[in-house]
Structure 1
Amino acid sequence: MRRIPPLGALRAFEAGARHLSFTRAATELRVTQAAISHQVRQLEDWLGVSLFERRGHALTLTQKGQAYLRELTPAFERLAEATTRLYEAEQGPLRVTVLPSLASCWLVPRLASFRQHHEELELQISSAVELWDFLDDRFDVGVRSGLGKWTGLKAELLAPEGLTPVCTPALARRLRAPSDLRKLRLLHDTPKDGWRRWLDAAGVEGVETTKGFAFNDAGLVLQAARQGEGVALGRLMLAAEDLRTGRLVRPFETVLPNDYGYWLVHPRPLSGRSDVAALRAWLLSEARATARSVGLAVTG
């Protein structure tokens, strides 16, 4: 008979020891901080040893706690690998959720490249604005815009983003200086203060930013710009193909950094899946090449 402590208590200890915080462990495991504390005490009672030293709000591991964590870490990794192998044995198409603007402007035009490199893999792509919380089984991975903070998920930055005016070549000929923007309709999505922030960065005053067209999707902003409806405050990653083909141009060089970048996110156990790894490598290569082509700084 195996002598094994309650698995819930082991999981609570491993997360708490990894973070050195019961609060962060509770967030990761989607339980309360009190539940983590209770399970860790239950484990200490079961083992008959102290695993943590608690000094006020500071949390450190005892020597026995450190030794126990060293033994448990590879065990949890083997569990994750076993789960990955089970996923792969049962897997069908790789189910991906992508923001509509990124799907239409960036991902779909590049799918031929993915097929050339990975004919054996099937993607099932869904576009949605709402944030998927990964608690259900509708999708395997997602490509999202944000700060990279999704509780309990692995998130990897694909590329940064930047905002700059884009328009048709015909409209660009009417723009000799940023102050000339007052003559044209301004197009934007969110953030709503983007135009004001860009104008401030360009050192321009007196341009009315409340008039024009506002959209709830960055892809629609670019579509309106292609049709000559005005000058869009475009997202460079999304506008890259339009800029490459000359459908749109950049009348000015000033780029407003966007705090939000594009991230690949998925539950941690899926990291070792071969199809997830293949998609990750392809997305990183394509996204970073796109970012470099429009002058966005890429690290890594």
Structure 2
Amino acid sequence: MNEIGSPVQSLPRPGRRLPPLLSLRAFEAAAAHLSFQRAALELSVTPSAISHQVRSLEDTLGQPLFRRLTRQLALTPAGQRLFDDLRTGFDVLEAGIDRLRRPPASQTVTLTTNAAFAARWVLPRMEAFRKACPGVELRLHASDTLVDLARGDADIAIRSGRGQWPGLLSRELMPERYAPLCSPMLGLKRVADLSKHQLIHCDWQPHALAPALWPRWFREAGIAQPKSPGGGAMRAPALSFSDESHAMLAALGGHGVALLSLTLSAPEIRSGALVQPFGPALDTGSYFVAVANGRENEAPLRAVWNWIVSQTTTGS
């Protein structure tokens, strides 16, 4: 543009002054093999056709490209220079065409998060992810063990906590709270009725800042631990799981009351398969998306980061 809104008139481009492509291909093949016969086999033509194309090229250039010896060909100095240039040019052209023929290479991003979040939040959204990030292959690392993003053990993480991790750039996604949840078939209404049902316990990792455990829940509820039907102290949890998804399945089956994530149990709460008979809900921090400092502008990581954030801001 020479002025705002005024397009520049493009100058006519002069045509390329090149010999016919067929003669150049014939010469390059013959020079590579130093044989019209083998060049003919490579290009699926006759030796006489190769000879004709090479002779035509020599006439066009006005100088010989081969010295024709008895049962042998040898390149002239001009022929050698042209062969070197053509070989380089054809190699570049072939590589460019090959890149166009190949499908775009997928970019793999490893997302690490805990097993429950992977199963309950990430996997149900995979179709949305494929539509939003068609060029990214997501590798899901589901483990409650923290990995070192700075060392490259994974590319991006969704972690729960306070979001203050050295060497990581993080953004808060959503607060996390845990509350007593159970099947409506239990008919649970009052805290005192907890003594009639099993408490379902789920293990927490040692690094958890504020684990949602039953003793903590009773403390924050400001009530004494209910007595068992026989009058003694309530027995220890009768069901214990290392995975929150399994604890949820037990609660859905009516096997007791579990302290479960309100975020991860949202579909079951909406459908009525699980109910929260009473509070309080325990604050366990928030979910954060995190990457190692310095990697936040890598295109595939940025695409995954933006998709994760979009899924929390749109209420998906």
Say yes or no: TM over 0.5. yes
1:229-272 Cα shifts (integer Å, max 9, x gaps): 211111111211222232212112421211x3222121122211
Q: Does the CA contact (< 8 Å) of 1:164 and 1:233 recur in 2? A: yes
Give 5+ residue unaligned stretches, structure 1. 1-89, 294-300
User: What pairs up with 1:58-77 in 2 under 5 angstroms?
Assistant: none
For residues 206 and 96 of structure 1, do their structure 2 counterparts lie closer, same or farther at Cα, with a shift above 3 Å needed? Answer: closer
2:297 pairs with 258, 272, 275, which one? 272
**C-alpha separation between the residues in 1 aligned to 2:235 and 2:176?**
22
Q: Does the CA contact (< 8 Å) of 2:198 and 2:237 recur in 1? A: yes
1:186 pairs with 182, 194, 199, which one? 199
Check if 1:164 corresponds to 2:189: no
Q: Does the CA contact (< 8 Å) of 2:148 and 2:154 recur in 1? A: no
**C-alpha separation between the residues in 2 aligned to 1:189 and 1:134?**
27
Q: Does the CA contact (< 8 Å) of 1:178 and 1:204 recur in 2? A: no
**C-alpha separation between the residues in 1 aligned to 2:141 and 2:216?**
33
2:241 maps to amino acid: F
TM-superposed CA distance for 1:205, in Å, is: 2.2
**C-alpha separation between the residues in 2 aligned to 1:117 and 1:228?**
38
Q: Which has the higher helix share?
A: 1
CA RMSD of aligned residues (A): 2.5
Tell me the equivalent position of 1:124: 139
Give 5+ residue unaligned stretches, structure 2. 1-104, 205-210, 227-233
SS at match of 2:286: strand
**C-alpha separation between the residues in 2 aligned to 1:134 and 1:120?**
22
TM-superposed CA distance for 1:215, in Å, is: 2.0
1:176-199 Cα shifts (integer Å, max 9, x gaps): 211111110011224577222222
Tell me the equivalent position of 2:113: 98
Q: Does the CA contact (< 8 Å) of 2:218 and 2:225 recur in 1? A: no
Tell me the equivalent position of 2:306: 281
Tell me the equivalent position of 2:3: none
Q: Does the CA contact (< 8 Å) of 1:96 and 1:142 recur in 2? A: yes
Q: Does the CA contact (< 8 Å) of 1:226 and 1:247 recur in 2? A: yes
1:161 maps to amino acid: E
Tell me the equivalent position of 2:281: 255
For residues 109 and 91 of structure 1, do their structure 2 counterparts lie closer, same or farther at Cα, with a shift above 3 Å needed? Answer: closer
1:247 maps to amino acid: A
SS at match of 1:110: helix
2:216 pairs with 197, 215, 235, which one? 197
Tell me the equivalent position of 2:61: none
TM-superposed CA distance for 1:289, in Å, is: 5.5
User: What pairs up with 1:140-159 in 2 under 5 angstroms?
Assistant: 140-159=155-174
1:276 maps to amino acid: L
Structure number with greater Rg is 2
SS at match of 2:125: helix
More divergent stretch after superposition (96-105 vs 249-258)? 249-258
2:116 maps to amino acid: S
Check if 1:114 corresponds to 2:129: yes
2:123 maps to amino acid: V
1:114-144 Cα shifts (integer Å, max 9, x gaps): 2232333321111122111124334211112
**C-alpha separation between the residues in 1 aligned to 2:313 and 2:269?**
16
TM-score (norm 1): 0.60
TM-superposed CA distance for 1:165, in Å, is: 0.7
Identity %: 31
2:259 pairs with 233, 239, 264, which one? 233
**C-alpha separation between the residues in 2 aligned to 1:248 and 1:289?**
24
Tell me the equivalent position of 2:148: 133
